[in-house]
Amino acid sequence: MEANRSEVQKCVIECLVEMSPLENAPPIDEETNPMWKLCLDSHDGVNLACKLTEKFDYDIPKEVNPLVDDERKRPRRVGEIVDLVCKLIGVRKEENNG
């Protein structure tokens, strides 16, 4: 699936809401921390990676947890997850063009 940033954002938010144990998810925007607002934990990052792999037909590397920024040692916000996915998809497209 080729997508622009807003389509990636929509897909990421849909996946996060589906995964949340909350019956009624709060409003979600770019600044939302899904681990805090949606009661997700780092283990849910594996499920998110699997869902996004299916949606975008791109294998997210197993060492990448979309919910956690290992470098900064903190949870990612929705906007950061979207940026990460866009970056990964972009890398894949560049590799296929060469």
pLDDT tens string 64-77:
999 999 999 999 99
Does residue 61 lie within any of the structural domains?
A: yes
Q: What is d(CA 75, CA 58) in angstroms, rounded to the nearest whole number?
A: 22
Q: Which domain holds residue 20?
A: 5-93
Higher pLDDT, residue 97 or 22: 22
Say what the pLDDT of residue 2 is. 65
Does residue 33 lie within any of the structural domains?
A: yes
What number of residues does the chain have? 98
pLDDT confidence tier of residue 1, bands split at 50, 70 and 90: low
**At residue 84, does pLDDT exceed 70?**
yes
Q: What are 49's two structure tokens?
A: 């990676």
Domain count, the chain: 1
pLDDT digits (tens, 9 = 90+) for 4-33: 899 999 999 999 999 999 999 899 999 999
Roughly what angle, to the nearest 10 degrees, separates helices 78-97 and 5-19? Answer: 130
Does residue 51 lie within any of the structural domains?
A: yes
The CATH number covering residue 19 comes to 1.10.1200
Does residue 98 lie within any of the structural domains?
A: no
Does residue 77 lie within any of the structural domains?
A: yes
Does residue 83 lie within any of the structural domains?
A: yes
| Residue 87 Cα distances to 38, 42, 61, 93, angstroms | 24, 21, 13, 10
pLDDT average, residue stretch 49-70: 93
